[in-house]
Structure 1
Amino acid sequence: MGRRPNDPENSRFASLVLLLVALFSCVFVYAVVSILLNPNVNSQNSSFQYLEAMASGDLGERKGECCRGIENLELWGPAVKWGSEFKFNSSVECCQACKTMCSGNDGPCLCDTWVFCGNKEACGSRFGECWLKKQKDTLAPDRQEAGETVSWTSGLIFGKGEGIVEMETKYGTLHIKLFPDCAPYSVAYILELLTLRHCAGCQIDRAESRGKYWDSEGNHIKDAPFGPPFALIQGTLEAQGTPFKKIPTEARPTIRRGSVAWIGSGPEFFISLANHEEWKNSYTVFGSVLPEDMEIAEKITQLPTKSDVWSNINVSVLQKPVPLVMRRMKRSLGDLNTNVKSD
């Protein structure tokens, strides 16, 4: 049976509804004001979500490839899980166990290093041990030993906001998020470059714009050709006087705008200005430029170039190569302008 409009219980119900509406309005206003006063918070998370997606494979990586390590290497550091009591059948499972301790949004990773003993003959009773560790400095991990006699496989995990290095040029600094779980050997080489004061010979020497074939977000225009120009900047990361060891083939996701990848086994590399699905899985990707820094790469493509032919392909070569240096990040994450949208 329905209640009368002047029924006291109905009045109490109406008052409760009004109270809830008022509370909701206050929360909504607070949220809007917070965004207006600190616009970088959501955009920064958006930027990191984009990069984490690229690292984890959500943007085209073949499943399971982004849990790789370096064989015959034992990384040191304080243990957060003791391998003698923590065993798995594969290094991938060990890696994933570390990743589960590095998936939150409320601070640094609890685990950033995993060490696995996977050679039954060499490991003996230690076979399957999975040691999870925490480095003091993930860009300079503590190495215990390396070489053919070492039975351990080790890998690094960089959490949100971690593992970002600077590629410094006279036209601006590109911040690059490294993917050690996808390309551990590549990242190990980049970490070596960070120890050099100078990187004589490291440079960008090819620059090609998106032309009219890709939009500003890197999407290919329907029915347009795929180049030239090929929407990329290309160079080399080989320091003079430092022997370069060829990088083995590692994870090869679909190239996206911002992807940093080797050409062959290196040291030649490129940064893509567009999504290149037509290239399939052809290149080892070891990092990605933060989206807000892509305007610097675009700026480099506007520099004077000259035509040349490389391996029967018409290319645009910079008249004056752009020197670059790989450095540790100088600015804090709060200083980075991440006012962008993620995919």
Structure 2
Amino acid sequence: MGRRQSDSELGRFALLALFLMGAIFCCMVYLFLSIVSNPNSITVDSVSELGENGREVALGSEEEDEEDGECCGGIEHLELWGDAVRWGSQFKVNSSEECCVACKAMCGDQGGPCLCDSWVFCGNRVACGLRFGECWLKKQKDTLEPDRKDSGDLVMWTSGFIFGEREGIVGLETEYGVLRIKLFPDCAPHSVAYILEMLQVPHYAGCHFYRAEDRGSFWDSLGNHVENAPFGPPFALIQGTLEAHGIIFKNIPTEVSHAVRRGSVAWIDSGPEFFISLANHFEWKKVYTVFGSVLPEDMEIAEKIAQLPSKQEVWSSINVSVLERPVDLWVRRIKSNS
């Protein structure tokens, strides 16, 4: 059985309690003064949470999305031939990115053709041996049909494409007009390689647009989101497939993801489903592989398709607008001076 506390013991406990209360009060005062002197510490979490919820773009995040940065990617286990403008035996670098950058540096600033439009790098130290680090800079006779020597797991080279400002443009031909698309081979080399492969098939069918949703009242004519408006539906896009009869489609690996802007052409997942955006979708947070962009003067064709008769369907609990009659499309070559 415990014994009863004496008066002297109660007094000591009272003093100890007062001491603890004073210490706690001092800590609270210190914490308050720290917050006041550093106000940003209480706003970071709230701003990031707003962006994650996707309700509205926080101040400054849109500007960050607009800075996508430079790309310099290639395709492993691919060797491109072509006329060498710089011999790899005399030019070695540390990475395929450096080789790509060296090729890009040979593109002028006046919008003319690039002196180098393809590059080949040997980056496997074991397989390359003495050729490790070689960077061959080349010029193709036809930028839309590069001279391919070999591909496959046994090929030790990595290759990439570079298009000048007026080069690398293909057309999606429809009954409403031709959507000219500038391809991004340095950001999405696998995607662009597939599109170039499609150009070599003279007759094919199966490609078409089947979904079309206009900008509604949620985005203005420039594609900018209207403040406090929903993000859809409608979602301001036209969607279709680029899987043609006669071509065996292989899933496109995820490549550099950029912000989706008005005119962006991007895969849905790994393809062959794709979409053309009619608005700036910064809320999508760069989750799609953007492999090209419609020339601004051709966006009126995409807008026309978005206005075609459609019917409402529900896909995975999302309301979508499906064209009553799909719009066939064909991938066509476009001359550089078009």
Q: Tell me the TM-score range normalised by the shorter chain.
A: 0.7 to 0.9
Match of 2:293 in 1: 288
What residue identity is the alignment partner of 2:66? L
**Cα displacement (A) at 1:69:** 0.3
Q: Percent identity?
A: 71
Q: Is the 8 A contact 2:65 2:259 kept in 1?
A: no
- 114, 121, 124: which is aligned to 1:119? 124
Aligned counterparts of 1:198 and 1:303: Cα–Cα separation in 2: 27
What residue identity is the alignment partner of 2:249? F
Match of 1:229 in 2: 234
Match of 2:56 in 1: none
Q: In the alignment, does 2:66 pair up with 1:59?
A: yes
Match of 1:157 in 2: 162
Q: In the alignment, does 2:123 pair up with 1:88?
A: no
- 261, 264, 267: which is aligned to 1:259? 264
What residue identity is the alignment partner of 1:204? F
What residue identity is the alignment partner of 1:286? F
What residue identity is the alignment partner of 2:88? G
Aligned counterparts of 2:162 and 2:247: Cα–Cα separation in 1: 27
What residue identity is the alignment partner of 1:105? Q
Aligned counterparts of 1:298 and 1:212: Cα–Cα separation in 2: 14
Listed as ranges, the gaps of 5+ residues in structure 1 are 1-56, 336-343
**Cα displacement (A) at 1:312:** 1.9
Matches within 5 A, 1:37-56: none
Q: In the alignment, does 2:81 pair up with 1:76?
A: yes
**Cα displacement (A) at 1:311:** 2.1
Q: Is the 8 A contact 1:199 1:238 kept in 2?
A: no
**Cα displacement (A) at 1:225:** 0.4
- 220, 223, 232: which is aligned to 2:225? 220
Aligned counterparts of 2:83 and 2:66: Cα–Cα separation in 1: 33
Match of 2:139 in 1: 134
Q: Is the 8 A contact 1:198 1:325 kept in 2?
A: no
Aligned counterparts of 1:264 and 1:199: Cα–Cα separation in 2: 23
Matches within 5 A, 1:1-343: 59-61=66-68, 63=69, 66-105=71-110, 107-329=112-334, 333=337, 335=338
Aligned counterparts of 1:197 and 1:241: Cα–Cα separation in 2: 10
**Cα displacement (A) at 1:200:** 1.0
Aligned counterparts of 1:325 and 1:143: Cα–Cα separation in 2: 24
Aligned counterparts of 1:151 and 1:300: Cα–Cα separation in 2: 45
* TM-score of the aligned structures, taking structure 2 as reference length: 0.79
**Cα displacement (A) at 1:58:** 8.9
RMSD over aligned Cα atoms: 1.4
Aligned counterparts of 2:290 and 2:121: Cα–Cα separation in 1: 24
Q: SS of 1:102's equivalent?
A: coil
Aligned counterparts of 1:60 and 1:316: Cα–Cα separation in 2: 32
What residue identity is the alignment partner of 1:175? R
Aligned counterparts of 1:60 and 1:270: Cα–Cα separation in 2: 22
Q: SS of 1:295's equivalent?
A: helix
Aligned counterparts of 1:204 and 1:267: Cα–Cα separation in 2: 12
* TM-score of the aligned structures, taking structure 1 as reference length: 0.78
Aligned counterparts of 2:186 and 2:67: Cα–Cα separation in 1: 15
Q: SS of 2:110's equivalent?
A: coil
What residue identity is the alignment partner of 1:306? K
Aligned counterparts of 2:263 and 2:308: Cα–Cα separation in 1: 19
Q: Is the 8 A contact 2:161 2:186 kept in 1?
A: yes
Return the index of the structure with the highest Cα Rg: 2
Aligned counterparts of 2:66 and 2:189: Cα–Cα separation in 1: 19
Q: Is the 8 A contact 2:204 2:246 kept in 1?
A: no
Q: SS of 1:191's equivalent?
A: helix
Aligned counterparts of 1:224 and 1:103: Cα–Cα separation in 2: 43
What residue identity is the alignment partner of 1:304? P
Q: Is the 8 A contact 1:262 1:270 kept in 2?
A: yes
Number of equivalenced pairs:
275
Aligned counterparts of 1:144 and 1:182: Cα–Cα separation in 2: 22
Aligned counterparts of 2:111 and 2:155: Cα–Cα separation in 1: 36
Q: SS of 2:191's equivalent?
A: helix
> Residues 278-329 of structure 1, C-alpha deviation per residue, up to 9 Å, x if partnerless?
0001100000000000000000011000001112211000000000000001
Q: Is the 8 A contact 2:234 2:320 kept in 1?
A: yes
> Residues 104-161 of structure 1, C-alpha deviation per residue, up to 9 Å, x if partnerless?
2163110000100000011111000000000000100001111111100000000110
Q: Which has the higher contact order (CA 8 A, sep 6+)?
A: 1
